[in-house]
Amino acid sequence: KQEVTQIPAALSVPEGENLVLNCSFTDSAIYNLQWFRQDPGKGLTSLLLIQSSQREQTSGRLNASLDKSSGRSTLYIAASQPGDSATYLCAVQGGSEKLVFGKGMKLTVNP
Amino acid sequence: DGGITQSPKYLFRKEGQNVTLSCEQNLNHDAMYWYRQDPGQGLRLIYYSQIVNDFQKGDIAEGYSVSREKKESFPLTVTSAQKNPTAFYLCASSIFAPGRGGTDTQYFGPGTRLTVL
């Protein structure tokens, strides 16, 4: 059974820092990996999707990498801003066609 | 304006009542999903549907029911058999692409917060 882990569960940093968020998964047989953002009391917003054949994806200040063989992905946030404060969730899709989510990491960027 | 809508935003249920949560999408997506989110638990899949008039149980389907009579609508009923229904419920949709491992990016609605009184 696929398990997705995000450590740490929470992170508080000063504005301007470059950040690395980690995601690990137990079964490397995945089709894709997705990173989402969730603001308090809101739905999820898709940030980046990496297909299994890709190594990384970039969108603005965000860069996500995927190492399928080691079961790891990282989300890199450059020059963090208070508006980046949210919970970030990682999810993988495997052969069952369903997404398996991590529990998320709550990020606080202090001005 | 394309997207996914969920209603109501807040819902209160008395013991023994069935309640129905609405989810509508105008993205022309084939696949739709219902998730439950509890504090510290992440998202857990309740039901999903890849085509009209067909749906599959997810990981925590007990006490819930769904229907998919129209492509754009996927309502979720929380029955009295669900013993702990207080949670945040999220609906999502995606293009169903069997040749690419099944699905593409999932798009989420704003959620419904259900509270049992």
Q: pLDDT tens for residues A30-83?
A: 989 999 999 999 999 999 999 888 999 999 999 999 999 999 999 999 999 999
B21, B43, B94, B96: best to mutate for the A interface, most A CBs within 10 A: B43
Partners of residue B12 on adjacent β-strands: B115
Residue B74's pLDDT band, with cuts at 50, 70 and 90, is: very high
Pairs across A and B, CB distance < 8 A: 60
Continuous H helices in B9-87: none
Single-letter code of the amino acid located at B117:
L
Could you tell me which residues of chain A have a Cβ less than 8 Å from any Cβ in chain B? 31-32, 34, 36, 41-46, 49, 51-52, 89, 91, 93, 95, 97-99, 101-104
pLDDT at B42: 85
pLDDT at A1: 86
For a pLDDT cut of 70, what percent of chain A falls above it? 97
* Per-residue CA distances from B100 to A110, B9, B94 (Å): 40, 34, 13
pLDDT at B98: 59
Higher pLDDT, A94 or B8: B8
A50, A90, A93, A105: best to mutate for the B interface, most B CBs within 10 A: A93
Residue B79 pLDDT exceeds 80: yes
DSSP class of A40: T
- Is A44's CB within 8 Å of B92's CB? yes
Sheet holding B76-78, edge to edge: B4-7, B19-25, B76-78, B64-66
pLDDT at B97: 63
Residue B102's pLDDT band, with cuts at 50, 70 and 90, is: low
Residue A98's pLDDT band, with cuts at 50, 70 and 90, is: confident
Element (H, E) at B100: none
pLDDT at B103: 57
Min mean pLDDT across B13-27, B31-45, B46-60, B91-105 is at B91-105
Q: Chain A residue with minimal CA distance to B99?
A: A31
Instruction: Give the Cα separation of A67 and A78 in Å (integer).
Output: 20
Residues 6+ apart with CB under 8 A from B41: A103
Residue A26 pLDDT exceeds 70: yes
- Is B103's CB within 8 Å of A93's CB? yes
Confirm if A38 and A106 have CB atoms less than 8 A apart: no
